[in-house]
Structure 1
Amino acid sequence: MLEKIQIVKQRFDEINDLIIQPDIISDQKRYVQLNKEYKDLKKMVDKGLVYEALMSNVEEAQEIISDGSDAEMVEMAKMQMEEAKAQIPALEEEMRVLLIPKDPDDAKNVVMEIRAGAGGDEASIFAGDLHRMYTKYCESKGWRVDIVDFNHGTSGGFKEVIFEVSGEDVYGTLKFEAGVHRVQRVPQTETQGRVHTSAASVIVLPEAEEFDVQLDMTEVRIERTTSTGPGGQSVNTTYSAIKLHHEPTGMIVSCQDQKSSHKNLEKALKVLRSRLYEMELAKKQAADSEKRMSMVSSGDRSAKIRTYNYPQGRVTEHRIGLTLYDLSNIINGDIQKIISELMMAENTEKLKADTGAI
């Protein structure tokens, strides 16, 4: 482990020198990449300093015990050695996880899309519940949530809602939420008290920077319309809503949340870039067997990942067989326990796969 710490330290020092070089600062893409790597390596370097200090304590204690000339010092050394040795295994495990190669997209902001699936009005209400759950979770993390576009359900909730989340390591946290979420409950419209099953799909896209996707604006047709509210009625008389048509792929992106046409265009372009970036990402992941085989992979949008069962107050995370009887708190945004378990499962898989590397 000490050898690995030294390798990390060398790279850390190298980046420390690079990020102050004028040619690096002027290259935005390279500068951002190096800054992200610097932050990640600093975590490992800080842990490495603690690890080295503990190993040094063990070594010093062993020397005092071997000498044996001072009984009181020997007793203190034994205590010091036991204390250090008790901390080392957990610290080594933390460092092994930190040594796993990071997905460069994990630090990105995200564009999330929630769409009502099977279940009619109840599915739209559930999509609204999911949007509220994620909004509350993001707020608890200090992240910013901005609506991009939405289409209200006829009885509440959303047929579709698209929003941006900005903060630290957002994609690395929320990527596990991608897939089909199911709800089992008695709908508000049900008169006979029967439990129905409805679904909503969640898509999590890493937000693409301008230098990630070179968007040719000659291939994008911009349509300006008035914003609409529930039922399709116009809610303002200015042509501020934006609809983008990407001719090569046939993608259509809308944004009507802002009063300014310019701001709506900016947001719509972010979503378009992120969708195009995800298309390229999907091609790479399809060629990567480890990504494809991962049980917590977010690649398959049609995969049923989680069930929220109201009669039993139960939430089941199908990918890792986790069941929690805490539905009311979870649907109110307390989803960290689930995300932490999914992260642990993914890291365990990576550790198995990368044993030789780390």
Structure 2
Amino acid sequence: MPDFVDSVFDVSSTVFQTSRNLIFKSYDHIRNIWMDSTPPPTPAQHSIIRTSINQVSRLDLKTIFLATVLGGIGTYRCLQHSKTQRRARLLPSGRRFEVVVIVGSPTSVVVQKLVNDLNRRGYIVYVTVTNELEVKAIESERDADIKPLLLNYDSALTIRTSLLRLASILETPELNHTGDDSSSYFLHFKGALIIADYFKYPKYSKLAEIEPRDFNAMIQNQFLKINALLQNGLITALQESNNRRNEIEKYNGVNISECPSKLIFVNFFPISTKEKRRLFLNFTLDINNLLFEYTYKENLKSYCGIPYILHNKNPDYIDIAKLQVDFHQDEESKLLSSGINILNIRNMFSGIRNKKLTSRKFHHQVFDLLNTNYLKKVYTINA
């Protein structure tokens, strides 16, 4: 047994000594490399690389200065384009020619602000009206490019007759101020926005409290009237706009791009943090979503392209999407941001609470949807 232990000890000592020698030799080798001040030989360069370096080295200061100026101009133009990209296209003469129709109450604050913002961005805006009060609300804007579109919902025939006025406007060439026929142009129907007004409905918390009169009015306003408007001329007007897009583009001399006309359902839905009587409001939202789903499904049958790869070639197809805006408000009608984000955390420590948000995010989203080549089905904003 002692002989076995001694032999194991001898072998261990030999292995340790060998490892120690290897470590010290490696250390000496690395130290010599680092301490050696002689620079390593320059690797042989490929002839193409050497030629390119020689050409660059022969550039004079004039060439460098010219490249710097051109690069600066390009960067400035890109920055300017990014600031002005949310603007409607204009004719070479500066006249407006893109039309947006808003189906909603002109007395609604949401509609009023959106109408004015689209007008400031270069659109001709038509707003549907049904009575004298709404006509006066449009006339009070005092802008020639904000116009009323009078609708009569008595029957399918009266609706078609009402929309024929819009069709006549789109099909009749407009004249410039000079009155010269050669400088005439056509209007282009960019899209329609259907904006339900959720701020005027009664508050109910139980099914037994719902009045039949209120429920029937909601079905009429949120489903039957809008559906009749879509099926009796509005969708056809959007399809005709797709058919005439190339002709208008050539006639006006302005690039309209490949994006089809849009139909956008906007649900600007108020959510109070303390209000519990939201049963009727939820019914209204469900009815509006039901109309959107069936309209989207019917329109999808006309699609014959490949999303994000090939453009749709069927002019009967129009882009349809829904924009859901969850409008959180407290008793003082101040907008609250839902969820936790960096801005909320910063406001907590800075003492800023319930700061009123602007409608810029909502308006920018609407503008982007009108000018996007491909739309998703649903977009959501938590304000």
Provide TM-score, normalisation by structure 1. 0.28
Larger Rg: 2
Bigger share in strand: 1
